[in-house]
Amino acid sequence: MFASENPESQHVSCTQAALGVSDAGVRFWHGLLWLVQLRQCRSGAAMYTLAPDAIYARRSRHAYGVQTTTFFKKGHREELRFTEPTTNKILCSKVFSPLVKLDELVEHDQVKVEDYVAVKKHQASVDFNLYACSNNSDRYTDADAMKKVGSVRLYIADPSKVTDPDAFKFTVSFRLGGSELTVTAVDKQTGEEVQTSVIFVAE
């Protein structure tokens, strides 16, 4: 009989020989031990680290979203109102666009896709700033409960082509539910892509 190069394998073999336990029996006890370990984990994050496939969905401990600039509407904060000089449109800055709400149940590897447009003519780049919030009520990213957790910048290959900002579109996908929130932004005109990841806190 050849000795195993793995000392742990030798130990298991000796134990099996002494107790008369089959390979199937060893696998059963290993599986039972693994189940006990999972039950002892009170934190969903700890369980996800041990066995990500065992977690189907988790509840978000924060609201997550993107800072946007939108058309100024009644009810928006007056001090955030401005006129974009290249289009003469009246806009509102620092508007929080939520992707996930506090306590929302998020499936493993859930993907949300959103479309955005440019803000001004001949825009050279677009920033997607990610924020986490401890409540579901704040609407602006300068609120005390807001925290910037990440940012991704997509450069526009030919800014001279941004003649109609409303027609110059970007698609952004947000992959949620794992240990990270992954953001991928795509210029729909060229296919240019950038990506970033931030820690996704859930239970």
Residue 199: predicted pLDDT:
66
CA distance 81 to 162: 23
**Strand runs labelled E in 15-109:** 57-59, 63-71, 81-84, 89-100, 105-107
Residue 45: predicted pLDDT:
47
Residue 29: predicted pLDDT:
42
Q: Mean pLDDT: which of 83-92, 143-152, 190-199 is highest?
A: 83-92
Residue 23: predicted pLDDT:
47
Q: Is 21 exposed, middle or buried (0-12, 13-18, 19+ CB in 10 A)?
A: middle
Tell me the average pLDDT across 35-43.
Answer: 42
pLDDT tens by residue, 53-85: 555 577 888 999 999 999 999 999 999 999 999
Does 7 or 198 have the greater pLDDT score?
198
pLDDT tens by residue, 93-151: 999 999 889 998 888 788 889 999 999 999 999 988 999 999 999 999 999 999 998 88
Residue 48: predicted pLDDT:
43
Q: Is 117 helix (H, G, I), strand (E, B) or coil?
A: strand
CA distance 79 to 82: 8
pTM for the predicted model, two decimal places: 0.69
Predicted confidence band of residue 201 (pLDDT cuts 50, 70, 90): low
Tell me the average pLDDT across 173-184.
Answer: 78
Measure the CA dihedral 83/84/87/89, to 10°. -40
Residue 144: predicted pLDDT:
97
CA distance 99 to 130: 10
CA distance 182 to 175: 5
Residue 178: predicted pLDDT:
64
